[in-house]
Structure 1
Amino acid sequence: MPSNAKVFIKYGPYEAAGVVDYRDSRLRGLQAILTKNGHSVKLVKIEDPNTVELSVNGETVFTCDIKDLDYGSDGELDPLCIKAKDAVKKAY
């Protein structure tokens, strides 16, 4: 995939401190690592709770549980962010 791919990060609500809501703090590392690799990123809210899906050219290339992503990281040390970056790189 060219380094200038348009990546949609689709994410659902999750529970924190007893409140279920949409939060993007766990997505910051994912956004950072993809942006650093030259991709443009757009966040899209979906109904599926606890879900993160990365979509490139209409194809879902990576999924995970949002609570498994590191909170507020830069993505460099988060193994899921690295897997997501590799999945986007292999997309076509």
Structure 2
Amino acid sequence: MSLIVFFGPYETNGLIKHKPERLHGLLSELNKLSYHIEVIPTKHLERLTIEMRHREIFRCNIKNLKYNMDYEDDPMAQKIVGVVQEAHSRIYNESNIPKYYVNRMGMRGVQNIQRGITAKDIFSPSIELINEIGTQKARQHRE
């Protein structure tokens, strides 16, 4: 659960410079939620960008965050934490993780499965299978 927070400089009192104090409430809450955070200053003026797994999940003007405020008092920080949690649940969802199955027969194996051909049909009749996964005989054998 790692995040990269990019923040740019902004103008205050006639000076343009990076001020990470605006990120105080946001970073403290994300630390409480056990996110690993890397904070990187960028050259993009007044921009705050948050990335998770090399995907941009949030972008806004850094001036929308309150200066040196706690998480409870900053509505934008609360919104960002909500977005981060939603992105985490979507990105790290089990259905998004690819599953690879070894199939040495390639397309022929896929076609055999579609046609309903089992391992008994493929092997010579002289070979006796002790256990075949997914068959009634295998279930009975385990019991």
> Scaled by the length of structure 1, what TM-score is found?
0.89
Q: Which amino acid aligns with 1:29?
A: G
Residue 49 (structure 1) aligns with: 45
Deviations 1:33-75 (A, max 9, x none): 1111111111111121000011110111111111110111121
Report sequence identity in percent. 27
Residue 118 (structure 2) aligns with: none
Cα RMSD (Å): 1.0
Which has the larger Rg?
Answer: 2
* Equivalenced residues, count: 88
Residue 8 (str. 1) matches residue 4 (str. 2): yes
Residue 30 (str. 1) matches residue 26 (str. 2): yes
Residue 75 (structure 1) aligns with: 71
Q: Which structure has more strand as a fraction of its residues?
A: 1
Deviation at 1:16, TM superposition (A): 1.1
> Scaled by the length of structure 2, what TM-score is found?
0.59
* Unpaired runs of at least 5, structure 1: none
- After TM superposition, where is structure 1 displaced by more than 6 Å over at least 4 residues in a row? none
In structure 2, C-alpha distance between the alignment counterparts of 1:41 and 1:76, rounded to whole Å: 20
